[in-house]
Structure 1
Amino acid sequence: MMSVQVSPVRSSEDIDDVRTLVWEFFDFLRVRYPEMLETIDNYLVEQDVAGELAAFERFFLPPHGECFLARLNDQPVGLVMMKPHGENDAEMNRMYVRDAARGHGIGRKLGQALVDEARRQGLGAVWLDALYRHVEALPLYESLDFEYFTDPEAFGGDDERVLHMKLELR
């Protein structure tokens, strides 16, 4: 029987597992979107992903943010990160589940954990950006009641390959 646990990241071991999964996520994106390598590389620089991961506690642990790690049979297999967005909102970042662990509802559990935490904190909305062929994630986001919107100021600007979504919590 498969055992899935989703919990907030707190230990240094958890943080190391998250760092590994984040880089796997970007490797996955490079394979899935070979036509977008420049966009992905620009994102890594603009968002200072390496810097955020190096200073993980300042970005993804309370009171600044949150990160949830999924384990399948005690092995790290997925993550989702939450960081502040504006004054009273959050941004969902880097939801990822390893290929071998898909089909167990892990993405749903991660997404729901983040939404529940944002509600618990009394936030107004959760924002996210996703790439257009992210066929595993888009239906999940929709089922969590995220809605599409247009934002030419967001990452990717008016690039139709970058989809912007928002979940109003109030």
Structure 2
Amino acid sequence: MSAKVILARTPEEIDQVRVLVWEFFDGLRAKYTEMLDTIDEYLEEQNVKGELENFADHFLPPHGECFLALLDNEPVGIVLMKPKGANDAEMNRMYVRDTARGKGIGRKLGEALLSKAQAQGVGMVWLDALYRHNEALPLYESLGFVRFTDPEAFHGDDERVIHMKLKL
């Protein structure tokens, strides 16, 4: 099996990313049934539908970046990079399909994003994750992310939302 990470650029690749983003949220809804209101609030507050409709304005240079993981040339994972403030970035919506987990694809996605962020001179990469992201939280920590508390962040007072950052 051959896994690789590419920068999504073609209309077909971007459509594949859109499908994976909605799969990501479907997975959150299935895993966090007690947090459906929070997930809906996030979708609305982040204008996920609008961002995906106007993809280039959010996830293609110079506004952001989009990484698509392929396994045997089939799309199996994504991670998005969004600007945050003047010199920082957000790691956003990392997702790997269940059928492709355990093959190092999440790590490849994370490393690709961090490498691109570093090359662009990003100072800090931020992310939020939900508390039972058992497959992702150890990966983020192994990449160097540390947890922090931020009462001003989305649901900053909710212990079920984990805030993490990595200084590059």
TM-score (norm: length of structure 2): 0.99
Question: What is the count of residue pairs matched by the alignment?
Answer: 168
Aligned residue in 1 for 2:40? 41
Question: Is 1:5 aligned to residue 7 of structure 2?
Answer: no
Question: Is 1:102 aligned to residue 95 of structure 2?
Answer: no
CA shift, 1:157, in A, is: 2.1
Equivalent position amino acid for 2:111 in 1: Q
Aligned residue in 2 for 1:123? 122
Equivalent position amino acid for 1:75 in 2: E
* 1:122 aligned counterpart, secondary structure: coil
Distance between the aligned counterparts of 1:53 and 1:33, measured in 2? 23
Distance between the aligned counterparts of 2:151 and 2:41, measured in 1? 17
* 1:163 aligned counterpart, secondary structure: strand
CA RMSD in angstroms, aligned pairs only: 0.4
- Which ranges of structure 1 fall in alignment gaps of 5 or more residues? none
Deviations 1:34-72 (A, max 9, x none): 000000000000000000000000000001100100010
**Where in structure 2 are the equivalents of 1:153-168 lying within 5 Å?**
153-168=152-167
Equivalent position amino acid for 2:135 in 1: E
* 2:134 aligned counterpart, secondary structure: coil
CA shift, 1:19, in A, is: 0.2
Distance between the aligned counterparts of 1:119 and 1:73, measured in 2? 28
Aligned residue in 1 for 2:58? 59
CA shift, 1:5, in A, is: 1.1
* 1:145 aligned counterpart, secondary structure: coil
- Which ranges of structure 2 fall in alignment gaps of 5 or more residues? none
TM-score (norm: length of structure 1): 0.98
Q: Give percent identity, aligned residues only.
A: 71
